[in-house]
Structures are given as structure tokens and as C-alpha cells.
Structure 1
Amino acid sequence: RMMIDGFTAGLKVKVFRIDNMISKGPMVVTERVDIFEKEDGSEVELPVLGIFEFEGDKIAKWREYFDLNQFMNQMA
């Protein structure tokens, strides 16, 4: 949680747009774009691939893959 808070400081979540979602057994994979608003009103878009593994109705494993350089370049 601290890592996420660290690199999203000063940003407001605008929307998490899910473009594709598939599931197989207890696994759900999402292709999405996280859109944030900077303090100056401009937007930062971060394409993300998320993998969620469930045990019953709870998320047991949660992994996300994204290009941090792409995000940081938009923050500059």
C-alpha cells in the first residue's frame, strides 16, 4: 500500500477503465487503463494488466503489471 501511495501522491483517481476481462477457474485477468487527474487538471493514463486469484469469495493473490517509466514520463 505504501508503494502505491508513494507514486500516486498528488493524483486523484478519475476512473479505472476495464477494456477486457477473462476468467478461468479461480483466476480473473483484467486489461485496463487507470486514469488519474493531476493537480493541474491534466490526466495521466496507465495501462495495467491485473491478475486476481480467488479462494472462495476472497482475493488470495493480486498481481499487477505496468510500465513505470510510461507513468513517470507523464508525471514530468
Structure 2
Amino acid sequence: MNIKGIPKVRMQAKGLFHSGNVDAAQLLTDLADAYEYLAAEYGRVMELAGFSESREACEKDALAWLDPTNRPAVEEGGI
């Protein structure tokens, strides 16, 4: 799976690694791996639960959170 935005994070991690900041590079790589896994699992679970017609539609919803301009509106005030 290739999630938009994750390749940029991986490129940043390579740059950090080559500049000698190995710990930060590993942290970014782990973060990218975790987000890819979570987005895929979110799509699978939502499809199995019947909340979405397809895994791809759920992954698209999850990807909306990567770009702040595309994030769903959240109403203030809570419950």
C-alpha cells in the first residue's frame, strides 16, 4: 500500500539518516509504518462492520486526515 504523504516522510527519514541523526530517522520510519498499517486495518474493520461499501472508501476517509485542509469538520462542544 502506498499512502499519499508517507513517501515524503520516508524521504525525510533517509535525509536524517544520511545526516547522522539515526534515532530521528528510525522514529520517522516507524511512524510511517504504523500509519500505513493503521489505515489498512481501519479500512478492513470498517468494511467488515458494514460501515463502508469498500476498503478503499474507508482508506480514502482515513487519508483525509493527512491533509489539514481535507479533514472533516468537528463541531465544538462535545456530547
TM-score, normalisation: structure 2: 0.25
Q: By percentage of residues, which structure has more strand?
A: 1
